[in-house]
Structure 1
Amino acid sequence: MAAAITIRPISSKRDRKAFVDLPFRLYRDDPNWVPPLKGEALGLITPEKNGWYSHAKAQLFLAERDGRVVGRISAHIDTLAQQMPAAQGFGPGSGQWGLMEAEDEDIFRALLGSAEEWLRAQGVALVLGPISQSIWEEPGLLIEGFDHPPTVMMGHAKPAYRGWIEAAGYHPIKQVMTYELDIRPDFPPIVQRIIKSGEKNPRIVVREVDKRRFDEEAAIILSILNDAWEANWGFVPLTPPEIKDVGVKLKPIVFNDLIRIAELDGKPVAFMITLPDLNEPLAGLNGSLLPFGWAKLLLWLRKPKVRTMRVPLMGVVKELQSSRMASQLAFMMIEYIRRASVTRYSATRGEIGWILDDNQGMRSIAETIGSRVNKVYQIYGKDL
């Protein structure tokens, strides 16, 4: 007879460490799981170290059997998400769960029951998951693309989780996906013509960012992002504490020639952020910078050479989104960053996303340059 499963809420530093350590055992034999830096993973679930908690609250749970940690989950409520229109995915009475890992389905069901009970007690009527924890972190459960590692800031999961979630009464709400492509060849002739036409237009300037003016450039990008993404499903505006956190996290892998801002008549109207895939050097560190991991990572950061470049964010202001100019600016930024990625960083592969399944404009741009879907993540919902 199997031992009883115990679910308990956690708050201590020791418990948070056990929460972070669990995936290292569960995915030990999975060649496509990339161990995160444990310090960074701890920071994400520590309120004093994560600006997301300035507008959200969470309860973490551990599952134990025979005194051994066998599962984990986070139940959380984002007050800004609750203020968004319900038609955009969240809205009043919504809550989420995420960061779920479990040895078997019985453990998962027990964890999920505790998360739902906590959310119900907070007045939640609609629960969505997995969202770990902010929508800007790792939204959705991987349901396609288990055969290769995720890129930086994307998630991984066990294939069995999909069946467990659906058997618990959850139904699909939204899919997000990533696209991959070989960035060594030139883009198709039609794309090249569009780019050359833009280069002849004196109204258009596509420039590199200046890392020396990091805060100023970040403010420009954030302004475009909020305007461009405001009506998107799941949009929750980033707050100043979160922006500060993102800046600290991403600044080491920000390179001027990999981030572009497009200006029209001198006004910033579009941007594209590209990051060298940090997961490539992290894969061999097993979550720790000690004893020599810090030196390896520092050396890599000075002059990164990577196989993959990831485009996590791109945006064009709303007033241009239905125009030909929007795709022209996108193609120009993609091409300039493609050239830099190949010639200066030895990259051979690009990954674009995540992209919402109903974002036809961005999906069309990705497909026009020869990209194909390589990973699909599913967000589920359930009425409590």
Structure 2
Amino acid sequence: MTVPPAISNDLKVFPVRTAKQLDLFIRLPRLLYSKYSGYVPPLDFEEKALLHPKKSAFFRYGSAQYFLAYKNNEPVGRISAQIDPNALRQWKEPIGLFGALDAIDDAEVVQQLISTAITWLKKHGMEKIRGPYTLNANSQAGAMVEGQNEPPMIAMPWHPQYLVKHIEAAGLFKAMDLVSYQMIMSKEIRQAHKIPSGLKVGSSRLGNITTRKLNMKEISRDGEILRQLYNDAWDDTWGFVPLTPTEMSILIRDLKLMLTPDNYVLVEQNKMPVAVALMIPNIFDLSEEVGPSPSIIGWGKLGYKALRHQFKSARVILLGISHSIRDTAMGALIPSLVIDELFNRGEALSYNMIELGWILESNKAMRNLIERLAPKPCKTHRVFEAQLDCKD
């Protein structure tokens, strides 16, 4: 991939160096997208936890540089360029990442932002670029292709439709699509996924199979079980990067206020963990009323509703089935049992909808199972990549 031609004189891209610039970098999507239907700004504290070098788990092991684009002295875009040592070890290629890409509807702005990220990555020895990942593959992934007017969901990025075509115009190519599905909590969906009576957990053929909930007193232990099963389950799939113990501990810490025992499904065979899923409540259900920067009263309302678990939707962010049973008859049954248990938990928590995703478009087995309940994806996000011309 070659660097694009010279840019307009009034377009400039600068590295983020000061606290004021960092604050603008974090808040910029809200300024750029406020006029677009479907865009709902996330809470500022969520974005700071994701992007602020003193708060984000990524900076405990990775390195990144943020950039802001200005046109006629107005901020018009942002991007991050980052290197994830865990991804380098897993992928065994010098692949650098970009993320936090947001911009006005201007191909030149997006092109120059990506060009700037490429220059930084090449200086650090990278030979390929992949993204957007904010800031790694286990966080917000992909540029939104479809689903802009679907309900907003926790930790799922939102982009206007024009962004994908501008990324392609900048010379990047589709690497993989990530799809998400909405499981509506209804009698019709329940009937479509009815488990035969002979396949109930704890009876007949499944007599040695049990499920349990999250132990709030041992939440760190259960988080570690989740991490190990997730890493084991997805180790050989495209784009996978293992979750680190630090990432899991921070995830559990940040979610603890919102989680109940029902948000965690652990399947055990002969008392050994073989499958797990984590379903996190959708903070947008509570934050739309108070906005991205709540007042003290707003924070009080938010905290009160969170403690009373007044959520109407949730997202399954982690789901894994142990390699030890994957190619067995039991391994073929377990995904259906997990989906059934998620439905049970969703009903108990009074959710109206559970979003399942993201899922690799190439994961046909999981997609076929889910499409019995939700025939079409509700959202699609795209990961791009390109080989870098290291002779430039």
* TM-score bin, normalised by smaller chain: over 0.9
**1:326 and 2:328 correspond:** no
**1:30 and 2:44 correspond:** no
Change (3 A) 1:234 1:195: farther
The residue identity in structure 2 corresponding to 1:16 is L
Q: Quick one: which of 181, 184, 187 aligns to 1:182?
A: 184
Structure 1 residues 228-276: Cα deviation after superposition (integer angstroms, max 9, x where no partner): 1111211111223222221222212211012110100110111111122
Specify the alignment match of 1:284 in structure 2: 289
| Distance across 1 between alignment mates of 2:287 and 2:196 | 39
Change (3 A) 1:195 1:207: farther
Structure 1 residues 272-291: Cα deviation after superposition (integer angstroms, max 9, x where no partner): 11122112212233311323
Specify the alignment match of 2:252 in structure 1: 247
Change (3 A) 1:245 1:361: same
Specify the alignment match of 1:238 in structure 2: 243
Specify the alignment match of 2:82 in structure 1: 76
| Distance across 1 between alignment mates of 2:192 and 2:54 | 51
Change (3 A) 1:369 1:195: farther
Identical columns (%): 26
| Distance across 2 between alignment mates of 1:12 and 1:255 | 39
Specify the alignment match of 2:3 in structure 1: none
Note the C-alpha offset of 1:383: 0.9
Contact residue 152 and residue 278 of structure 1 kept, 8 A: yes
The residue identity in structure 2 corresponding to 1:192 is I
Structure 2 unaligned spans of 5+: 1-7
- Secondary structure of the equivalent of 2:98? strand
- Secondary structure of the equivalent of 2:48? helix
Q: Quick one: which of 122, 135, 138 aligns to 2:137?
A: 135
Change (3 A) 1:194 1:121: farther
**1:122 and 2:128 correspond:** no
Specify the alignment match of 2:96 in structure 1: 95
Note the C-alpha offset of 1:368: 2.9
Q: Quick one: which of 219, 223, 229 aligns to 2:228?
A: 223
| Aligned pairs (5 A) from 1:1-384 | 4-85=10-91, 91-103=92-104, 104-185=106-187, 187-188=190-191, 191-193=194-196, 196-200=199-203, 201-342=206-347, 344-384=348-388
Contact residue 34 and residue 282 of structure 1 kept, 8 A: no
Note the C-alpha offset of 1:77: 0.9
Contact residue 181 and residue 349 of structure 1 kept, 8 A: yes
- Secondary structure of the equivalent of 2:378? strand
- Secondary structure of the equivalent of 2:156? coil
Contact residue 177 and residue 381 of structure 2 kept, 8 A: yes
- Secondary structure of the equivalent of 1:74? strand
| Distance across 2 between alignment mates of 1:40 and 1:328 | 36
More deviation, 38-47/204-213: 38-47
| Distance across 1 between alignment mates of 2:232 and 2:373 | 25
Specify the alignment match of 1:88 in structure 2: none
- Secondary structure of the equivalent of 1:206? strand
| Distance across 2 between alignment mates of 1:4 and 1:370 | 47
| Distance across 1 between alignment mates of 2:214 and 2:296 | 34
| Distance across 1 between alignment mates of 2:198 and 2:311 | 26
Structure 1 unaligned spans of 5+: 86-90
The residue identity in structure 2 corresponding to 1:282 is S
- Secondary structure of the equivalent of 1:252? coil
The residue identity in structure 1 corresponding to 2:195 is Q
Note the C-alpha offset of 1:351: 1.1
More deviation, 10-19/62-71: 62-71
Contact residue 224 and residue 248 of structure 2 kept, 8 A: no
Contact residue 192 and residue 373 of structure 2 kept, 8 A: no
Number of matched pairs:
377
| Distance across 1 between alignment mates of 2:144 and 2:159 | 6
Structure 1 residues 28-82: Cα deviation after superposition (integer angstroms, max 9, x where no partner): 1223222122133123222222221222111100111233211111011111111
- Secondary structure of the equivalent of 1:163? helix
| Distance across 2 between alignment mates of 1:266 and 1:165 | 48
Contact residue 57 and residue 78 of structure 1 kept, 8 A: yes
| Distance across 1 between alignment mates of 2:192 and 2:379 | 27
| Distance across 1 between alignment mates of 2:376 and 2:190 | 14
Change (3 A) 1:75 1:18: same
More deviation, 300-309/314-323: 300-309
The residue identity in structure 2 corresponding to 1:247 is I
Contact residue 191 and residue 369 of structure 1 kept, 8 A: no
Q: TM-score, normalised by structure 2?
A: 0.91
| Distance across 2 between alignment mates of 1:63 and 1:172 | 24
Q: TM-score, normalised by structure 1?
A: 0.93
